[in-house]
A and B are shown apart, each in its own frame.
Chain A
Amino acid sequence: MKEIVENLGRQALAFLRHLGGIFLLFFSTIYWTFQPSRLKKNIFSQMVFVGMDSLLIIGVTSLLIGMVTAWQTGIAIEQFGAKTYIGGIVAVAIAREMAPLMVGLMCAGRVGSSFAAEIGSMKVNEQIDALKTLAVEPVQYLVVPRFLACLVMMPVLVIFANVIGLFGGWLVATRNLGVDSAIYINHVLSFTKFKDLYAGLTKAAIYGIITSIFSCYRGLEVRGGSEDISRATTFAVVFSCLAILVADYFFSVLFNLM
C-alpha cells in the first residue's frame, strides 16, 4: 500500500514538474518571439515543413472525412426527407470540428514526433550545448520557429482541409446520394457562418501552440541516449493528442456559448 501511495506521489510530482516546464517554455517562447532575431530563414523552413509537407496527408484525410461525413449524415437525414440539407451539415461539421481536430491530430503525429526526435537528438549530441557556447538561446533558435510555423500554418491547413472536405462531401452528395450540385453549394454557403470558420481557425492555432510547445519541451528534456529519444517522441505525440482533445472539448463549449 505504501509503495502504491509513493508511486502515485512520484507520478503526481513528475506530472506537476512537466506541467510547470511546459508553461515555462511557453512563456519563454513568447518572450523570445518578440526579441530581435536573424533566424527568419529558420521560420520559413519550418513553415514549409509544417504546412507544405503536410498538404498531401491532410488533403487525403480531409477528402475521406468529408466523404464519410456526407455519407453518414446523408443516410441518417434521408429518413426525415432532409437530404438536401447535407451540404450545410457537412460544412458546419467540417469547419467547426472535423477539420481543426483532424489537422491538430495529424500534425501532432507528423510534426510533433519530428520536433521531439530532432531536438532530442540535438540534445544527446551536445548540439544544444554548442548553441549556448555560440551565445545562441536554444529557445529562440529551436522553439520559436517551430512555434510560429505551427501557429500560422495549422490554421492555413484547416482552410485547405475545409475546401477538400467540402469537395469530398460534394462528391458523395451529388454522385451517391443524388443531391443537386447547386443545392449542395447553396446550403454550404447559407449554413456556414463566419463564426464557424473563426472557431475552426482559432482552435487550429491553439492546437498549433499545444503541438509545438509539448513536442519541443519533451525534446529539450531528453536525458541519456536514443532510448529516451523514442520515449520523448511517444510523449510528444500522445500528450499533444490528449491535450488537443481536452482543448477541443472546452473550446467547442466556449464557442457554442459565444
Chain B
Amino acid sequence: MIFEMIKIQNLYKKFGGHEVLSGLDLEVKSGELMVIIGPSGCGKSVLLKHIIGLVSPDSGAIFIDGIDITNLSEAKLKKIRFLFGMVFQGGALFDSLTVEENVAFGLRLHTDKSEEEIRRIVKEKLGLVGLENIEDRRIDELSGGMRKRVALARAIVMNPRIILYDEPTTGVDVAMIDNVNRLIRDLQDRLKVTSVVVTHDLENAYKVADRIAVFHSGRIARIETVEKMREMEEEILQKYMGKSAL
C-alpha cells in the first residue's frame, strides 16, 4: 500500500526577520524519490533539516511515518532518526576518522555486531556505492566524488527507510556528476527507500526523480512528474527559477 512516509503541513520558519518557510506543504509517498528544486539559498536545505528534526519549525507539523516530530523530545527524536540516512552537501565526513570508521560509525555505536560483521557490512555498503579497498584511507585523501560516495555509504549503513540528499552533485567533478546521479537512482531502485533530494539543477533532477517539487518563496509552488516537468520546463524556469537551473 502506498502511503505518505513524509507529510509536511503548513510549515513556517523565520531566521531573524527573514521568513524561509511560509506555510509549506509537502507529501512524499513511501518508496518515492522526490526532488525539491529551487535556486541556491532559497531554504531547501533548511527544509531538509526540518524533516530530520535538526531544526524546529515556528509552526506547522511534520509527520514521519505517521508520527508528528515537531513536538517530540530529543530522546524520541533520536529514535525517529534511525529511520533516516542523510547525505550532506559537503559530505560532513568526520575527518579525524578513516573511511571505515566513518561508515561503521552508527554500527559501532548503536548495534552489538562483532567487529568482523561490521567490517563485512562496511565492505558491502562501500561496494554498493562503487568503492573498493579504501577502508583505511583518511578522508583528506579522497576526491570530492569519493567523499560523496563514502557519505552515501555511511547514510545507508543502518538500512534507513528514508534517505535525504542535500545537493548531492555540488562539489563533484563534472565527469562524476552522472555517476552520482546513477548511484542515487540505482540505490533507490535496489533499496526501495523513500528519498528526498534537494538541488538547484533541473537536469540532475530529471535524471533521478520520480516527482519534482518546485520550491518558491518558502512554499512548494508545484509538484509534477518528470515528464510533465519537461513539457512545462520553460514556464517553470521563468516563473520560479529565474532561468538559473539550466
A residues in contact (CB < 8 Å) with B: 38-39, 122, 125-127, 129-130, 132-137
| Minimal beta-carbon separation of A239 from chain B (angstroms) | 25
CB within 8 Å for A135 and B78 given contacts A127-B92, A129-B92:
yes
| Minimal beta-carbon separation of B219 from chain A (angstroms) | 24
For chain B, the bracket of interface size reads 20 to 34
How far is it, in angstroms, between the C-alpha of A38 and the C-alpha of B154 when the chains are bound?
A: 18
- Asked whether any CB of chain A lies closer than 8 Å to the CB of B176, the reply is no
- Name the contact of A129 in the complex, choosing from B49, B93, B106 (C-beta under 8 A): B49
How far is it, in angstroms, between the C-alpha of A136 and the C-alpha of B82 when the chains are bound?
A: 10
How far is it, in angstroms, between the C-alpha of A133 and the C-alpha of B54 when the chains are bound?
A: 8
**Which B residues, 73 to 100, have Cβ-Cβ distances below 8 Å to chain A?**
74, 78-79, 81-82, 84-86, 88-90, 92-95
How far is it, in angstroms, between the C-alpha of A90 and the C-alpha of B74 when the chains are bound?
A: 53
Q: Verify B81–A135 contact, CB threshold 8 A.
A: yes
CB within 8 Å for A130 and B86 given contacts A38-B108, A38-B109, A136-B109:
yes
Of all chain A residues, the one with the shortest Cβ separation from B78 is: A135
Q: Is the interface of B mostly helix, strand, loop or mixed?
A: mixed
Q: Verify A130–B109 contact, CB threshold 8 A.
A: no
Q: Verify B94–A127 contact, CB threshold 8 A.
A: yes
CB-CB under 8 A from B85, the residues of chain A are: 133
Starting from the known contacts A129-B92, A136-B109, 6 additional A-B residue pairs (CB-CB under 8 Å) come to: A125-B92, A126-B88, A127-B94, A129-B49, A132-B54, A133-B54
CB-CB under 8 A from A130, the residues of chain B are: 86, 88, 92-94
- Name the contact of A126 in the complex, choosing from B78, B89, B106, B110 (C-beta under 8 A): B89
CB within 8 Å for A133 and B52 given contacts A125-B90, A126-B89, A126-B92:
yes
CB within 8 Å for A126 and B90 given contacts A38-B109, A134-B109:
yes
Q: Which 6 A-B pairs give the minimum distances between C-beta atoms?
A: A130-B92, A126-B92, A133-B86, A135-B78, A126-B88, A135-B81
How far is it, in angstroms, between the C-alpha of A125 and the C-alpha of B102 when the chains are bound?
A: 15
- Asked whether any CB of chain A lies closer than 8 Å to the CB of B105, the reply is yes
| Minimal beta-carbon separation of B69 from chain A (angstroms) | 13
How far is it, in angstroms, between the C-alpha of A5 and the C-alpha of B6 when the chains are bound?
A: 49
How far is it, in angstroms, between the C-alpha of A175 and the C-alpha of B19 when the chains are bound?
A: 73
How far is it, in angstroms, between the C-alpha of A126 and the C-alpha of B105 when the chains are bound?
A: 16
How far is it, in angstroms, between the C-alpha of A136 and the C-alpha of B85 when the chains are bound?
A: 13
How far is it, in angstroms, between the C-alpha of A161 and the C-alpha of B21 when the chains are bound?
A: 56
CB within 8 Å for A133 and B94 given contacts A38-B108, A38-B109, A126-B88:
no
How far is it, in angstroms, between the C-alpha of A172 and the C-alpha of B154 when the chains are bound?
A: 59
CB-CB under 8 A from A134, the residues of chain B are: 81, 105-106, 109, 154
CB-CB under 8 A from A122, the residues of chain B are: 94
Of all chain A residues, the one with the shortest Cβ separation from B106 is: A134
Of all chain A residues, the one with the shortest Cβ separation from B55 is: A129
CB-CB under 8 A from B90, the residues of chain A are: 125-126
How far is it, in angstroms, between the C-alpha of A132 and the C-alpha of B82 when the chains are bound?
A: 10
How far is it, in angstroms, between the C-alpha of A136 and the C-alpha of B49 when the chains are bound?
A: 16
